[in-house]
């Protein structure tokens, strides 16, 4: 199975180009070459890739070779995660690798990406993140072209005037573009010609090329070749014809004519982007109160960055202001209203007033504003606020079911009291707004043909398509009998596009399931007899929910917050259903944790670990499985031993840390899905990390086919929710998935009231004079390198500068690597010494996290000698047995008091509740990563308040980036969540300000 990657090579004086290359994990993973740019050892030949993708592509995509910059070691490049091959964790650096490439001509880029966007599941290849990203970007370009969000331009390509289409990015489109820029996988920009290019240039170049191709497909060539203006025709005529021609070049054009036309077109583009400033004009539609005739349309100024900063025009004219307004906000308002007239001509009535603040609309005009004007204004970058009901489907269906008395149905499942084959009575009603309407009322509304109408005190929008669908539903079957399984499928399907299912009213066990609150409504199961310990009340409710789904043959997602005991609930389920043979797949780092937790909570459960070079095969494997109740294996082993695991009839399959299968296209995810089991359970605290396709992937593992194919899910839920924030689609998705997802938060005191508090604080540290001198020297040295570099080299220099500055903040010896003494040279170390002494004196224990293994290796012996106490040190270079030994020692013995840990090696999967202090010595600048590390101590089993201290050097980039995170938590959870790459895209002036040392930082 090949893993196909897409790269983008930005053009220099010409359009950029898409390149494709692929990995084959079956090929050797090491390279014997020592050249500066070595052949990629497991990249497949370009011809073989073209044949694997499509026989149609083999003839049109020229093959070649190129250089990609990828992480690797001295032995070879790091395999991508999609290959399923375990990657090395040490000695990784960026290197140049030569790969065979398919180069896609610019006029075929959109078509090729469209072809590859949805590969056949039976195809011998899967798409890597880079190819999926570019396919999504192509979809965005096509959407812009279909909506006309583009303008024609005249550009110079290799000195030749050329007619091109360029995107107009305002409003929501501008936000989407920023998301694309922030989320670009590094592999997209790994391909290079001579020099690398910065991220913004890469994504904009790609979007320009894709949009131009999409525009030409939307606007096919209007003129036959013989009808096109000749080379002596006027340039504007030639340019117009070239906008839809296969060849957009305009050779021989006069320099003066080109300059004049380009100036006019540049002014056009600039005017189209005027609404992208920090302050925008906003419109608010206000529905009439009962008894009123007209609708109100209020004008206002609003901050584009912080929409809560909103100033109605009436208050503006009275002299009120908010921070960030320009000196003449009245001019900004009037200019914005003047631009909006082009989209909403009726606005000219308000502009006749000297101080326009609002206008009145009749119902027909209000409907036109809702349906036609508001989307245009939003797309152009104006703010628009509509009533909460606007845009929702006004007409929907309500499904009511009632259980039959026991014994009335031969198909009822008597032994369990409820089954998916049980018959229930059902009735479908029409709903408009919040109320049920009769067929007569619906017919009257259809006769009136009023697009905006008040129904039982609530305004709703009615269009012909919805009314036709509703009238058709009235004439069809509206009541009778269905099986519980058929009802469940109707709820998941959510009705039709024009007539969605908006409400479900079910009783009995089916009502418990469909409510999404089965865990609260079911009678809690008591702690199983074989469970050593006592389940908490919410855990007993979780057990009853898991058992309930299992009886129905359904799978579920146990998405409890980290530390709430997903492991204990799963083991208790195994004890409650003793005869069910369970396969549990988890990351390698958690195998020992499951072994120990099973021995602790459920010692009667027989466990077999299928992992490592000594794992059993053939008849020995069959014998081991036959004698086991729980078989533990890893995701990597499941991929390698797929045929072996598929040969067993599993009663239950459990995926722990199920975000490992969030990408449905990976070989690992496909392998896990291919293992048959009666029921499936996913354990994860983060069912959706980045986008809703991940939820579909995990749900499709739990209940294959229930949510339909990925294409339908994307059209029905993902695109409306992620692109348009569709409230109806959000409610429908919650209704469809709610029965199968159980999510509780440990911060919810109704769930768990006896978990101690977590107290977080910043510990501000000063630099020593030596640190300050080194810090300034690094800034001056690295800024000169950054200023003289560009592209991927610049990004590497920025990351290197950040790493060096963080090392200086830790300790001079960390940067210099000279083995020099540690005491008295670092403000952070001095603060840690005092803190560690206090912790030891109080008899407490602490976890100390560092990002750098090399610093931990220096710090551990120093702290042990300074305190005259053992200090443990866990890092990625330790064997699994040694890791387990250290964890056990820290948890069970009075000594040692301090546990030093590498953040990457110990940020997840460990239970270290013996500690009630957590110290982050250096910052990862990713709140999610730091919180996961903190939760090694702040979890169930912790009986004391947890003190979390984050060391920050004042006046340095540490303090400045910390402030940026605090100001923009949303950014921290999305952009910063990808690591530190976002910082590399700051301008040189911004970097200089970020790195600059505050003189007050020195102690």
Looking at residue 178, what is its pLDDT? 82
Percent of the chain with pLDDT over 90: 20
Cβ-contact 603, 574 below 8 angstroms: no
Name, in order, each residue with C-beta under 8 angstroms of 655's C-beta and a sequence gap of 6 or more: 584, 585, 586, 661, 672, 680, 681, 682, 683, 701
Nearest of 187, 57, 189 to residue 115 by alpha carbon: 57
pLDDT in tens, 48-96: 888 888 755 655 677 788 888 888 887 788 887 767 666 666 677 788 8
Give the residue with greater pLDDT, 280 vs 975.
280
Same domain flag for 399 and 452: yes
Look up residue 66 and give its two tokens: 């190129």
* pLDDT category of residue 899 using cuts at 50, 70 and 90: very high
**CA-atom Rg of the chain in angstroms:** 32
Mean pLDDT of the region 186-191: 76
Cβ-contact 467, 446 below 8 angstroms: yes
The answer to the question of residue 541 being in a domain is yes
Given 514, 540, 564, the domain boundary residue is 514
Looking at residue 197, what is its pLDDT? 45
* pLDDT category of residue 1003 using cuts at 50, 70 and 90: low
Q: What is the CATH number of the domain that holds 634?
A: 3.40.50.10810
Looking at residue 908, what is its pLDDT? 58
In this predicted structure, the answer to whether residue 191 has a pLDDT above a threshold of 70 is: no
Looking at residue 829, what is its pLDDT? 93
Mean pLDDT of the region 355-362: 94
Please write down the long-range contacts of 521-525, taking CB distance under 8 Å and 24 or more positions apart.
522/548, 525/576
The answer to the question of residue 6 being in a domain is yes
Edge-to-edge strands, sheet with 556-558: 607-609, 630-634, 582-586, 650-656, 677-683, 556-558, 741-742
Same domain flag for 835 and 964: yes
Looking at residue 56, what is its pLDDT? 55
Mean pLDDT of the region 776-792: 81
In this predicted structure, the answer to whether residue 910 has a pLDDT above a threshold of 90 is: no
* pLDDT category of residue 834 using cuts at 50, 70 and 90: confident
- 440 φψ region: left (φ > 0), alpha (ψ -120 to 50), beta (else): alpha
Name the packing angle between helices 537-552 and 566-576 (round to 10°): 50
Same domain flag for 558 and 483: no
Q: What is the CATH number of the domain that holds 807?
A: 3.40.50.300
In angstroms, the Cα distances linking 37 to 46, 49, 96, 98 are 18, 22, 5, 6
Given 327, 357, 385, the domain boundary residue is 385
- 370 φψ region: left (φ > 0), alpha (ψ -120 to 50), beta (else): alpha
Q: How far apart are CA 127 and CA 138, in angstroms?
A: 15
The answer to the question of residue 162 being in a domain is no
Given 385, 417, 451, the domain boundary residue is 385
Same domain flag for 509 and 535: no
DSSP 595-649: HHHHHHH-TTS-EEE--STT---HHHHHHHHHT-SEEEEEHHHHHHTHHHHHTS-
The answer to the question of residue 231 being in a domain is no
Min mean pLDDT across 186-200, 583-597, 742-756 is at: 186-200
In angstroms, the Cα distances linking 187 to 7, 129, 131, 190, 641 are 6, 8, 9, 5, 29
Same domain flag for 692 and 581: yes
Looking at residue 626, what is its pLDDT? 94
pLDDT in tens, 853-877: 889 999 999 999 888 888 999 887 7
Same domain flag for 351 and 404: no
Looking at residue 194, what is its pLDDT? 33
The answer to the question of residue 303 being in a domain is yes
Nearest of 508, 510, 470, 509 to residue 487 by alpha carbon: 510
In this predicted structure, the answer to whether residue 662 has a pLDDT above a threshold of 70 is: yes
- Which domain covers residue 410, as residue numbers? 395-514
In this predicted structure, the answer to whether residue 786 has a pLDDT above a threshold of 50 is: yes
Same domain flag for 818 and 952: yes
Give the residue with greater pLDDT, 673 vs 106.
673
* pLDDT category of residue 225 using cuts at 50, 70 and 90: very low
Same domain flag for 936 and 909: yes
Look up residue 360 and give its two tokens: 């009145």
Of 296-300, 420-424, 587-591, 745-749, where does the model show the most confidence? 296-300
Q: How far apart are CA 997 and CA 980, in angstroms?
A: 20
Same domain flag for 437 and 531: no
User: Can you tell me whether residue 903 is helix, strand or coil?
Assistant: helix
Give the residue with greater pLDDT, 980 vs 290.
290
Total residues belonging to the chain: 1003
Domain count, the chain: 5
Name, in order, each residue with C-beta under 8 angstroms of 998's C-beta and a sequence gap of 6 or more: 954, 955, 956, 959
DSSP-derived secondary structure letter, 77: B
The answer to the question of residue 259 being in a domain is no
The answer to the question of residue 163 being in a domain is no
DSSP 505-525: EE-HHHHHHHTT-HHHHSPPP
Same domain flag for 708 and 595: yes
The answer to the question of residue 232 being in a domain is no
User: 0.85 exceeded by the pTM?
Assistant: no
In this predicted structure, the answer to whether residue 777 has a pLDDT above a threshold of 50 is: yes
Same domain flag for 851 and 960: yes
Looking at residue 753, what is its pLDDT? 64
Same domain flag for 128 and 24: yes
Of 221-235, 694-708, 721-735, where does the model show the most confidence? 694-708
Looking at residue 818, what is its pLDDT? 81
């Amino acid at each position: 199975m090949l893993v196909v990657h897409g790269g983008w090579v930005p053009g220099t004086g010409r359009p950029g180009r898409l390149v494709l290359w692929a990995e084959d994990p079956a090929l050797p993973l090491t390279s014997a070459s020592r050249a500066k740019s070595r052949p990629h050892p497991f990249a497949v030949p370009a011809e073989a890739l073209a044949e694997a993708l499509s026989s149609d592509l083999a003839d049109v995509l020229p093959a070649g070779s190129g250089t990609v910059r990828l992480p690797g070691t001295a032995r070879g490049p790091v395999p991508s995660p999609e290959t399923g091959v375990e990657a090395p964790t040490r000695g990784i650096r960026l290197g140049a690798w030569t790969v065979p490439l398919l180069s896609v001509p610019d006029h075929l880029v959109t078509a090729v990406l469209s072809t590859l966007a949805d590969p056949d599941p039976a195809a011998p290849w899967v798409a890597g993140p880079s190819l999926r990203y570019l396919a999504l970007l192509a979809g965005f370009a096509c959407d812009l072209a279909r909506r006309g969000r583009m303008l024609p331009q005249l550009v110079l390509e290799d000195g030749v005037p050329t007619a091109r289409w360029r995107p107009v990015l305002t409003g929501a489109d501008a936000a989407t573009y920023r998301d694309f820029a922030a989320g670009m996988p590094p592999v997209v920009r790994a391909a290079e010609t001579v020099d690398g290019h910065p991220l913004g240039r890469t994504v904009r170049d790609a979007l320009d090329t894709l949009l131009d191709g999409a525009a030409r497909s939307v606007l096919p060539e209007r003129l036959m070749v013989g009808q096109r203006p000749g080379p002596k025709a006027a340039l504007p005529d030639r340019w117009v014809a070239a906008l839809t021609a296969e060849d957009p070049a305009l050779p021989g054009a006069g320099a003066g004519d080109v300059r004049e036309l380009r100036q006019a077109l540049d002014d056009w583009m600039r005017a189209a982007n005027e609404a992208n400033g920090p302050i925008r004009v906003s419109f608010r539609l206000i529905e009439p109160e009962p008894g009123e005739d007209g609708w109100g349309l209020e004008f206002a100024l609003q901050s584009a960055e912080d929409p809560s900063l909103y100033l109605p025009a009436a208050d503006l004219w009275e002299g009120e202001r908010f921070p960030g307004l320009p000196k003449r906000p009245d001019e900004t308002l009037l200019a914005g209203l003047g631009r909006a007239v082009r989209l909403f001509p009726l606005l000219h009535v308000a502009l006749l007033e000297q101080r326009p603040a609002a206008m009145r609309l009749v119902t027909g005009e209000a409907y036109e504003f809702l349906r036609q004007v508001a989307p245009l204004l939003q797309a152009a970058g104006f703010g628009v606020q509509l009533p909460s009901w606007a845009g929702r489907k006004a007409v929907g269906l309500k499904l009511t079911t009632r259980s039959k008395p026991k014994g009335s149905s031969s198909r009822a499942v008597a032994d369990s009291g409820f089954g998916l084959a049980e018959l229930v009575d059902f009735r479908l009603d029409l709903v408009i707004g919040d109320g049920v309407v009769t067929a007569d009322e619906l017919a009257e509304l259809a006769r009136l043909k009023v697009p905006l109408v008040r129904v039982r005190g609530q305004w709703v929008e009615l269009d012909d398509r919805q009314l036709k669908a509703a009238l058709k539903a009235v004439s069809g079957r509206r009541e009778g009998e269905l099986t519980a399984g058929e009802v469940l499928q109707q709820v998941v399907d959510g009705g039709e596009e024009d007539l969605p299912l908006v409400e479900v009213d079910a009783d009995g066990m089916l009502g418990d399931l469909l409510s999404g609150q089965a865990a609260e409504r079911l009678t809690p199961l008591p702690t199983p007899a074989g469970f050593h310990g006592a389940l908490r009340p919410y855990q007993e409710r979780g057990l009853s929910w898991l058992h309930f789904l299992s009886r129905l043959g359904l799978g579920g997602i146990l998405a409890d917050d980290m530390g709430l005991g997903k492991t204990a609930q799963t083991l208790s389920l195994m004890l409650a259903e003793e005869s069910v043979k369970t396969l549990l797949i988890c990351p390698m780092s958690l195998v020992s944790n499951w072994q120990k937790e099973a021995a602790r909570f459920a010692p009667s459960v027989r466990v077999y670990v299928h992992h490592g070079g000594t794992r059993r095969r053939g008849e020995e494997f069959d014998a081991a499985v036959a004698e086991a109740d729980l078989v533990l294996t890893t995701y990597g082993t499941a991929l390698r031993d797929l045929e072996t695991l598929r040969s067993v009839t599993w009663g239950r399959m459990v995926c722990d840390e199920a975000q490992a299968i969030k990408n449905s296209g990976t070989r690992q995810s496909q392998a896990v899905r291919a293992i048959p089991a009666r029921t499936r359970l996913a354990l994860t605290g983060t069912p959706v990390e980045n986008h809703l396709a991940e939820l579909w992937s995990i749900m499709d593992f739990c209940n294959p086919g229930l949510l339909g194919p990925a294409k339908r899910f994307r059209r029905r839920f993902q695109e409306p929710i992620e692109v348009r924030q569709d409230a109806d689609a959000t409610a429908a998705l919650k209704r469809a998935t709610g029965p199968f997802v159980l999510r509780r938060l440990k911060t919810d005191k109704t769930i768990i009231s006896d978990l101690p508090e977590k107290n977080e604080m910043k510990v501000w540290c000063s630099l020593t004079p030596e640190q300050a001198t080194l810090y300034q020297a690094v800034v001056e040295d690295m800024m000169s390198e950054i200023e003289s570099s560009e592209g991927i080299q610049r990004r590497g220099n920025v990351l290197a500068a950040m790493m060096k500055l963080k090392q200086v903040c830790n300790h001079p010896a960390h940067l210099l690597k000279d083995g020099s003494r540690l005491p008295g040279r670092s403000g952070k170390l001095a603060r840690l010494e005092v803190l560690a002494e206090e912790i030891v004196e109080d008899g407490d224990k602490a976890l100390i996290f560092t990002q750098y293994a090399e610093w931990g290796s220096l710090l551990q012996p120093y702290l042990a000698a300074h305190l005259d106490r053992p200090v443990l040190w866990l890092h990625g270079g330790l064997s699994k047995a040694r890791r387990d030994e250290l964890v056990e020692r820290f948890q069970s013995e009075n000594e040692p008091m301090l546990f030093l840990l590498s953040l990457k090696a110990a940020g997840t999967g460990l239970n270290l509740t013996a500690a009630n202090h957590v110290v982050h010595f250096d910052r990862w600048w990713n709140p999610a990563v730091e919180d996961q590390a903190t939760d090694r101590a702040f979890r169930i089993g912790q009986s004391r308040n947890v003190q979390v201290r984050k060391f920050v050097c004042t006046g340095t980039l540490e303090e400045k980036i910390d402030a940026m995170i605090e100001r923009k938590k949303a950014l921290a959870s999305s952009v910063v969540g990808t690591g530190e790459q976002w910082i590399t895209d700051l301008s040189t002036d911004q970097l200089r300000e970020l790195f600059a040392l505050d003189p007050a930082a020195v102690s």
